[in-house]
Amino acid sequence: MKQRLAMAVLIVLTLGSMAAVNARESGNARAQPVAGLFDYYLLALSWSPTFCLTHQNDAQCSGKGYGFVLHGLWPQYTKGGWPQFCAPQVPLNAAEQEKGLTLFPTRKLMAHEWSKHGTCSGLGATGYLEVADKALGTVKIPPQLQPFNASYYFEADEIVRLFRQSNPGIAPDGIAVICSGPQLSEVRVCMGKDLAFASCGKGVRTQCRAGEIRVPPVR
């Protein structure tokens, strides 16, 4: 009887350990993330006019004429998912906030991105903001997608093609276009820890309807 009980306990512990490992590898939010343990970065560039269609009172939507803005630089797992809200949760100090506001369109977004994603970089706030700055400077926005005053229409594949023309190092599987309904929402570019263009991991893919999508004008 004791042997059976011991065996049952051992099986439960083994299965629990395996589940924890699988959860971490899949980016399961219930697993305890560890800062610095990730595989690559995902640079998320948000098309601000689309965001402002549903967030008119947000600070970035006050007639500043933004086109693409930095949504975030997100540590990712190749097998899918991502770490988030890594310890320690230390707020940005004044100097770090000043640096962050040169990258992010609003203070609110900057604080959220640092807390959720930046803390998992393992670089500290200053290091993370410097890497985000370099990543942002690495990706060139195509001239056809600079801020404009009228709506344009592109297919998602065409947006990918334009970004790859302006950034020849981006692989076909290293970029994803995200839509919000019929509008362009984001372009996401995958980069290694060295910020070289890289293939995207599991789950990172274009999410747009077939045919042309609308790219709203600046506000």
Vertex 44: Cα angle to 31 and 137 (nearest 5)? 125
**H-helix or E-strand spanning residue 70:** strand 68-76
Interacting residues of 168 by C-beta distance below 8 A, sequence separation 6+: none
Buried b / exposed e over 92-129, threshold 16 CB at 10 Å, is beeebbebbeebbbeeebbbebbbbbbbbbbbebeebb
Vertex 175: Cα angle to 206 and 68 (nearest 5)? 90
Amino acid in the structure at residue 67: G
List the catalytic residues: 71, 113, 117
Buried b / exposed e over 23-59, threshold 16 CB at 10 Å, is ebeebeeebebebeebbbbbbbbbbbbbbbeeeeeee
CB 170: neighbour CB atoms within 10 A? Answer: 20
Strands 183-191 and 152-155: unpaired
